[in-house]
Structure 1
Amino acid sequence: MLSYGRILDELKTTFKDWSNTHRPPRVLIPGAGLARLCVEVAALGYEAQGNEFSYFMLLASSFILNHTSERHQFTVHPWMHTNCNHLTDADQLRAVPVPDVLPGELVAGPGLLSMCAGDFVEVYSAPDMRGLFDCVVTCFFIDTAHNVLRYLEVISHTLTLGGTWINLGPLLYHWADAHTYLTTPELSVELSLEDIKEAAGAMGFRLVREESLDVPYMADYRSMYKTVYQAAFWRMVKEREWEPQAQIATPPPPPPYRRTHA
């Protein structure tokens, strides 16, 4: 819960006075995965909407959210088929009961949790999504983009003026090496952290706070090998509306050169 706990603390700081408003804050969580963060956000009393593209994630999250009736109802063995870096056989074969919490008991009230299937850019760039959310939370998400600038545009589009963007994660651009395993070319725009923050500023975001956090990812705490990212964590506020500039039309190519004779 290191990543999620830090995000939840920032949400509570951001919306500490929300009880004086006419409705709970609306929080969008793209790249929601198995929806655990969505459940934790809804448990705070906020309206949480998760967005996920992967059918594998959607099927698993739907099962846990809608078809579990008690804690530790099922048992899985997540490390059984990995043979590297185990200290003991028992570590490799150990069981993990799921779910550790019941989503229905955590969610603070009806209508606070929803999931939306589909591509983030396609779904949330729609006109009816403009200014719909008070906060966008991206956790290990922005580097999944073909073009991270497009993600920033859509985040800005969905946020109300004065809305908050909370981000935590590295920049392991998922499409950077696509040419090594795909036969068709894939767009991949890979910006540095500095460039992303500058682009966000140009789009009307103001950086409120930032820090680097050492965050484990897909961690087996008993393994001899662990992945730890020095992840970027920030909170930004949308201070002005921003519209993508109209694309400049590309002039037609000159006609082919033809040599003439006098």
Structure 2
Amino acid sequence: MTGPAPSADPILELRGVNKTFGVVHVLHDVDFCVYPGQVTALVGDNGAGKSTLVKAIAGIHPIDTGTYLFEGRPVTVHGPNEVSALGVEVVYQDLALCDNLDIVENMFLGRELTSRGLLDEARMETMTRDALTSLSVRTVKSVRQPVSSLSGGQRQTVAIAKSVLWNSKVVLLDEPTAALGVAQTRQVIDLVRRLADQGVGVVLISHNMVDVFEVADRICALYLGRVAADVKASEVSHGQIVELITAGRSGGLGLAPAQAAESM
């Protein structure tokens, strides 16, 4: 992969995280790291715990036990606003964009800039253009286009650009290429790579192994709430990751046999 040499230290790290809902133990002693300048793919079958892990990182679900570290320091987060203040943004699959607003209005929704009591439209337009330009986005004709007029790929681009507008250090992308065509998927994958090349720690949650192996530096495979493996993408095959996702093991890689059986 191109881009700046990644730091040896993770920018975001979870150690030994557990999460239960009633009697259901969803996350079991999960260790998870995100490195600046790298794309970490988070993969797993439905029910593996991906969504719960993402929501724990986002501050939506408080962790029961374990440690949440940001830039090497333990932190306690009580909600999404505190996580955003750290520099962590999440782009969910539904994108949370308003069709009736234009790109600028969506980018600054809830964070509008004012000058002398009035909206500072000129500054917000400039910052929106700069954010899109920094990610080499050329598919958007005007920042005043209503979001309803955008394609699926363009909407995803706007959502990702919105996440980096506030100098985010970590961005989590939930299935960013789901329901996109080939050309639009290509645009989004290129954008994910450029995001990491700027030094951002990117987490890609995806079921698409082609996308994962094209853009990811590391792959973390979850199996029924446990980390089956966290490996360099260059050191594993497509088949091995599928086996880790479906069985928790692939040859000598993954959960111990007894642990994998216990998880079933």
Question: TM-score, length-normalised on structure 2?
Answer: 0.31
- Structure ranking higher in helix proportion: 2
Which has the larger Rg? 1
Q: Which structure carries more relative contact order (alpha carbon 8 Å, separation 6+)? A: 2
Question: TM-score, length-normalised on structure 1?
Answer: 0.31
